[in-house]
A and B are shown apart, each in its own frame.
Chain A
Amino acid sequence: MSALRLISNRTSQHALSNSDYTWEYEYYEYGPVSFEGLKAHKYSIVIGFWVGLAVFVIFMFFVLTLLTKTGAPHQDNAEPSEKRFRMNSFVADLGRPLESERVFSRQIAEESQSLFHFCINEVEHLDKAKQSQKGPDLEGTIRFQEGPRNSGMFEEDLNYLTKFNIPNFVNTEQNSSLGEDDFLISEPPIILESKSVTHSSHRILD
C-alpha cells in the first residue's frame, strides 16, 4: 500500500542511512522497533481484536435470536380444500398468470407479502365465525409455553399445515420443503399447489 511506503520513506531517513529495507511489497520496513520493556503481551492487539470481534458476533447473534422469537402459526379447523382454493384464487387475483418460471419468480416477492396478509385475514375471518371458541389467552409470550390444551385438535392442525406453505419467516415444524432456503437468503420459496389461473371475488389486499 502506498500509505505504508510513504511512511517508510520518511522513517528511513531518520533510521540508518545505508538501509535497503524499504522494499514496498514486504511490510517490515518500519525500521527497528524496540521491544524492550513491554508491559503487556506483544500480541495483545491481535488477541484483543479477535476476542472483541468474536464477542461482538456472538452478541449480535443473541440479539437477532431474541428478535426472531416467534410462535408457530396455527390455523383454525377450516376445510383444507376450501382453504387451498381460496389461497390459489387469491394469488391469481394479483392479475398475472403463472405461466413461466420467470414470471413466477418475479411474482413470488409480491405474493409472499400478500400471502401473509392473507393468512392474517383468513384467520381473523374464521375467528369471527367462531367467536364462541375460547382457547388459551395468547397475548403474553409466557403463555405460549404452557402445554397443549387440546392435543387431539393440535394434531389435525399440524396435518393441515403441511398443505399450507407459507414463506419461511415463521418456521413450522412441517415446513421441511421450505426449510432449506430461508426466505431472506434466496428467492421466497412460495410453493403453490397449482398454477392454474382461477378467478374469484376475493379482494386484493394491499
Chain B
Amino acid sequence: ENISDFSLNITDCAQVVVPEEVFFTVAAAGILENLLILIAIVRNKNLHLPMYFFICSLAISDMLGSLYKTLENIFIILCKMGYLTRRGDFEKKLDDAMDSMFILSLLGSIFSLLAIAADRYITIFYALRYHNIMTLRRALVILAIIWIFCGGSSIAIALFSYEAATVIPFTILFPLMMFFILCLYVHMFLLARSHAKKIASLPTRTVHQRTNMKGAITLTIFLGVFLCCWAPFVLHILLARFCPHNPYCACYMSIFHVNGTLIMCNAIIDPMIFAFRSPELRSTFKKMFCCAR
C-alpha cells in the first residue's frame, strides 16, 4: 500500500491490473472445460486410444496452469485481507509449491504437445505399423515418464530458481521444443506434398494448382497460440532474473497480470484446437449433456 511513496517518478510504469472478475471467470472457464474433456475421455470406451490420452495429458497441464493462477490470486486476496502474513515461513513454502505447480504446467504442456505431434508423425509415416508401435501400454508408459520428469524438474527448478543455471535452460527448452514440433509437422506436410505431386504429375486430365491452406492455417493457429500465450511469461522470468532494475525491463514486468491471464486463455483455447476437432469427442459431449437433462 505504501508502494506509491517509493515511485520517484510520475511517468513510471504502474502495474497493469486485470479486474478480479475477469481473472476468475477466465480461470474457471479453463478449469471446467479441461475437466469436461477428461471426464468425456474417461467415460467413453471408444476414446481409450493413445491419441486421446495425449490430449488428456494436455488438458491436465492446462488445468494445472489455470489452477496455479487461481490459487495465487486467492492468496493475494487473503494477504490483502490480512488472513495470511506476508513473510511467514508457511507462505514461503506455499509460494514455492505454487511455483513448482506452474513450471509443472508449462513443462507438461510442452511435452504433451510434443507427444501429440510425435503420435501424428508415427500415424503418417509408419501407418501400417502404428498399431504395433503405439500400443496403449506404451502410451501410458510414455505419459508416466513425461510427468515424472516434469514433476522432478519443476521441483528442482522451484528450489534452485535463484540460480541462473536453472533459468537459462528453462528458457532455452521452450523455443527448442517448439522448433522440434514445427519440424515434425513440416516433415508431414512435405510428405503430403510429395504424394500429391506424384499423383498429379502423371499425364492425367488438367490439374489446377491449389494451395492446401487448411493445414497451414491450423498448424499456425496452434503453434501461434501456444507461443503467444506462454512466451510473454517466459520473457518475464528472463527479465526478472537478469535486468530487474532496468526501466525498460520494469515496464515489461508491469504487465505481469496480463501475461498470467494469457496463460489461462491458452487453457481455454487448447481444447478447441485439439479435443473438440474430434467428432467422437463431440458426440460424447452431446450424449453427456443430453443425459444430464
Binding site for B on A (CB under 8 A): 1-8, 11, 16, 19-28, 30-36, 38, 40, 42-46, 49, 53, 56-57, 60-61, 64-65, 67-76, 94, 101-102, 105-107, 109-114, 116, 119-120, 123-124, 127, 133-139, 141, 144-151, 153-154, 157, 168-171, 179, 181-182, 184-189, 206
Q: Is there contact, CB below 8 Å, between A42 and B192?
A: no
- B9, B15, B45: the one within 8 Å of A102 (CB): B45
User: At the interface, yes or no: B22 with Cβ under 8 Å from chain A?
Assistant: no
Q: Is there contact, CB below 8 Å, between B280 and A105?
A: yes
Q: Is there contact, CB below 8 Å, between A67 and B244?
A: no
Q: Is there contact, CB below 8 Å, between B15 and A27?
A: yes
Q: Is there contact, CB below 8 Å, between A2 and B96?
A: yes
Q: Is there contact, CB below 8 Å, between A182 and B215?
A: yes
Residues of B within 8 A of A44 (CB): 248
- A8, A22, A67: the one within 8 Å of B216 (CB): A67
Q: Is there contact, CB below 8 Å, between B207 and A74?
A: yes
Q: Is there contact, CB below 8 Å, between A67 and B49?
A: no
Which B residues between 182 and 217 are near A, CB-CB below 8 angstroms? Answer: 182, 185-186, 188-190, 192-193, 195-217
Residues of B within 8 A of A106 (CB): 49, 131
Which B residues between 26 and 79 are near A, CB-CB below 8 angstroms? Answer: 45-46, 49, 51, 72, 75-76, 79
Q: Is there contact, CB below 8 Å, between B215 and A64?
A: yes
Expressed in whole angstroms, the Cα–Cα distance for A102 and B45 within the complex equals: 8
Q: Is there contact, CB below 8 Å, between B245 and A33?
A: yes
Q: Is there contact, CB below 8 Å, between A27 and B253?
A: yes
Q: Is there contact, CB below 8 Å, between B196 and A185?
A: no
Nearest B residue to A1, CB-CB: B99
Nearest B residue to A96, CB-CB: B131
User: At the interface, yes or no: B256 with Cβ under 8 Å from chain A?
Assistant: yes
User: At the interface, yes or no: B123 with Cβ under 8 Å from chain A?
Assistant: yes
- B9, B213, B255: the one within 8 Å of A65 (CB): B213
User: At the interface, yes or no: B25 with Cβ under 8 Å from chain A?
Assistant: no
Q: Is there contact, CB below 8 Å, between A70 and B211?
A: yes
Q: Is there contact, CB below 8 Å, between B8 and A65?
A: no
Binding site for A on B (CB under 8 A): 2-3, 6-9, 11-13, 15, 45-46, 49, 51, 72, 75-76, 79, 86-87, 91-92, 95-96, 99, 102, 120, 123-125, 127-128, 130-131, 158, 161-162, 167, 182, 185-186, 188-190, 192-193, 195-220, 223-224, 227-228, 231-232, 235, 237, 239-241, 244-256, 273-274, 277-280
Residues of A within 8 A of B232 (CB): 49
Q: Is there contact, CB below 8 Å, between B195 and A116?
A: yes
Nearest A residue to B127, CB-CB: A113
Residues of B within 8 A of A107 (CB): 131
Residues of A within 8 A of B125 (CB): 113
Q: Is there contact, CB below 8 Å, between A23 and B86?
A: yes
Residues of A within 8 A of B196 (CB): 70-71, 73, 169-170
- B130, B162, B227: the one within 8 Å of A109 (CB): B130
CB-defined A-B contacts under 8 Å, sample of 7: A56-B227, A70-B212, A72-B210, A106-B49, A127-B204, A144-B208, A184-B219
Contacts A4-B240, A170-B195 given; does A21 touch B124 at CB 8 Å: no
Residues of A within 8 A of B189 (CB): 64, 67-68
Expressed in whole angstroms, the Cα–Cα distance for A124 and B195 within the complex equals: 13
Q: Is there contact, CB below 8 Å, between B212 and A30?
A: no
Expressed in whole angstroms, the Cα–Cα distance for A28 and B16 within the complex equals: 11
- A28, A138, A146: the one within 8 Å of B201 (CB): A138
Beyond A16-B6, A127-B203, 11 extra complex contacts between A and B, CB < 8 Å: A42-B251, A57-B228, A61-B220, A68-B215, A69-B193, A72-B207, A74-B207, A110-B127, A138-B203, A145-B209, A187-B51
Closest 8 CB pairs of A and B: A113-B127, A169-B192, A144-B209, A64-B216, A70-B196, A71-B200, A148-B206, A3-B161
Residues of B within 8 A of A30 (CB): 244-245, 250, 253
